[in-house]
Amino acid sequence: MRSIAVFSVKGGVGKSALAVNLAHAAATLSARRTLLWDLDTQGAATYTLRLAARGDLSARKGIAEGELAPLIQASDFPALDVLAADKSLRHLEKQLVEAEKARRLKKLIRAFDKDYDRVILDCPPGLTELADQVFRAVDLLVVPMLPSPLSERAYAQLLDHLAKHHKWSPTGTAPAILPVFTMVDRRKALHRDTIAAHPERLCIPYAAAIEAMATTRLPVLVKSPTAPAARALAALWTQVERVLTKLA
Ligand SMILES: Nc1ncnc2c1ncn2[C@@H]1O[C@H](COP(=O)(O)OP(=O)(O)OP(=O)(O)O)[C@@H](O)[C@H]1O
Ligand SMILES: [Mg+2]
């Protein structure tokens, strides 16, 4: 099993949209047994896959007690399950800090080893205690960012944080990091210039097909399989798999 977190310090950069599409691609394009774990109390990924939290259970309690199986739901797609977000996650930060169990999340993800090939986390934004737990737990961070100097700055801050607090180095310990430009609009000079400085990074276009997910509640590869955004998302998934294969 390999685990992937879609993470960024900044909010509103397309994390949840990527998490849903990557999870769907993992299950359908690569036939991986996939779990999408929605860790953001907003529940955008859960909602987009036409699911809702089970009212009788609490995700926060499941995390505290190591009892996550009852919280997992099947999606409309074969091989894709979802661990839904709910309101209890509002108090997750406090719980993680108080519990002083720095590797709680890592342990929980490891427990999925038997049942899943890919676990994909949709994270809330920010360098929080939850983020630190995610950094200790996953094999790969996919980091969406707008092509702008401020996003570059936030990305540099993330790398700095990883180096200082997680003994991370670009060639050394996990997690691997895959930065991705999102909401790309090549009509904008700022976007073109920022992208030109990083030609190795994949670009996800600013696309109506992605924006529409909030209303269609379907992954882009289902609703608009021939759209340029669908090709970009499939290419991103291929790159993710390539990075995962290279990990020891
Ligand atoms: N490539 C894209 N093109 C057009 N719209 C997009 C794209 N990616 C995301 N969006 C839209 O932008 C908004 C924010 O996206 P999303 O919720 O995925 O961001 P997020 O990083 O998960 O936000 P948050 O930090 O609040 O969790 C949504 O309305 C989404 O539909
Ligand atoms: Mg989100």
Cβ-Cβ contacts under 8 Å for 101 (sequence gap 6 or more): none
Atom from ligand 1 closest to the CA of residue 206: 3
Backbone phi and psi for residue 100, each to the nearest 5 degrees, phi listed first: 50, 40
Any atom of ligand 1 within 6 Å of the Cβ of 183: yes
DSSP-assigned states of every residue in 10-54: SSSSSHHHHHHHHHHHHHHTS---EEEEE--TT-HHHHHTT----
Rounded to the nearest integer, the mean pLDDT of the chain is 96
Residue with the two structure tokens 């709910």: 86
Any atom of ligand 1 within 6 Å of the Cβ of 228: no
pLDDT score, position 144: 98
| Sheet hosting strand 80-83, strand order edge to edge | 72-74, 80-83, 34-38, 118-122, 2-6, 140-145, 176-184, 203-205
Ligand nearest, relative to CA of residue 183: 1
* 155 vs 14: CA distance, rounded Å: 15
pLDDT, one tens digit per residue, over 8-65 is: 999 999 999 999 999 999 999 999 999 999 999 999 999 999 999 999 999 999 999 9
Ligand 2 centre to CA of 132 (Å) is 17
Q: Can you read off the two tokens belonging to residue 73?
A: 């739901």
pLDDT score, position 228: 98
pLDDT, one tens digit per residue, over 86-103 is: 999 999 988 888 888 889
Any idea what the Cα angle at residue 124 is, between residues 214 and 194, rounded to 5°? 80
* 186 vs 147: CA distance, rounded Å: 10
Q: Is 217 helix (H, G, I), strand (E, B) or coil?
A: coil
Any atom of ligand 1 within 6 Å of the Cβ of 210: yes
**Could you tell me the pTM of the whole model?**
0.97
Atom from ligand 1 closest to the CA of residue 18: 18
pLDDT score, position 98: 87
CATH class of 2-246: alpha beta
Residue 173: pLDDT band with limits 50, 70, 90:
confident
> Among 110, 113, 63, which residue's Cα sits nearest to residue 83?
63
The answer on pLDDT for 248 being more than 80 is no
The answer on pLDDT for 192 being more than 80 is yes
106-114 mean pLDDT: 97
Any atom of ligand 1 within 6 Å of the Cβ of 211: yes
Any atom of ligand 1 within 6 Å of the Cβ of 6: no
Residue 152: pLDDT band with limits 50, 70, 90:
very high
Q: Determine the angle formed by the axes of helices 92-99 and 129-137, rounding to 10 degrees.
A: 70
The Cβ of residue 205 has, within 10 Å, a number of other Cβ atoms equal to 19
CA 115 to chain centre: 19
